[in-house]
Each structure stands twice: as structure tokens, then as C-alpha cells.
Amino acid sequence: MSRIALSRGAIDDLDSLIASHSLPDDTPARVARSLRGVSRFPLAGAPLTGRWRGFRFVLGPWRWMVIVYRYDEAPDTVVVVAVEDGRSSAAVTASR
């Protein structure tokens, strides 16, 4: 199984979403559960294009939560780089 790591930016994103969306205290555990499949199958997430080429995404514990990651094959590590509200106009898109 691949190791999962969260970047500082992803941690900050998650903390902001917890505060702004009044998410429950167990949100980090829910996100971790959402990433279990990615730890087993790191290329399972949908690939992004454009500026985000080389990154993939999966949906989090809520259908609106987008978890963006990159898989580094050599150390077998999945690095989560962003956690965003996909309904937001500022969310990661294939073209920005």
C-alpha cells in the first residue's frame, strides 16, 4: 500500500473547510477513510489536465469535497496537495 501524506496547503485547506462549512470533528478521519482506496490503488483517481496535468482527484466524504493528489511512484507515496469545495468558483479545474 502507498503511503499517504498531506501537504501543508492541503492541511490548511481542510482546516478552512472544517471552519467555514461547520464540518464535524471527525472530518479528518472521514477524509482518511476516503483515501484508503487511493493508498491501495494510487492511480484510481481521475487524472486532471491543463495546469494540473500529473495530478489526480477523488471525491471526499462529501460529494462536493475534491481531494487533489499526486502519486510519486519511486517512494510509493500519494501526496495530497489540495482539499477543496468543488462547488466553489475558485476550486481546481482542468484548465486552471
The tens digit of pLDDT for each residue in 30-61 reads 999 999 999 999 999 999 999 899 999 999 99
Q: How many domains does the chain have?
A: 1
Determine the structural domain holding residue 21 and report its residue range. Answer: 3-85
Provide DSSP, 19-65: HHTT--TTHHHHHHHHTHHHHH-TT-SEEP-GGGTT-EEEE-SSTTE
User: Whole-model pTM above 0.85?
Assistant: yes
9-20 per-position pLDDT tens digit: 999 999 999 999
Residue 34 resides in a domain: yes
Residue 66 sits in a domain whose CATH number is 3.30.2310.20
Residue 91 resides in a domain: no
Q: What is the pLDDT of residue 88?
A: 81
Percent of residues, the chain, with pLDDT higher than 90: 86
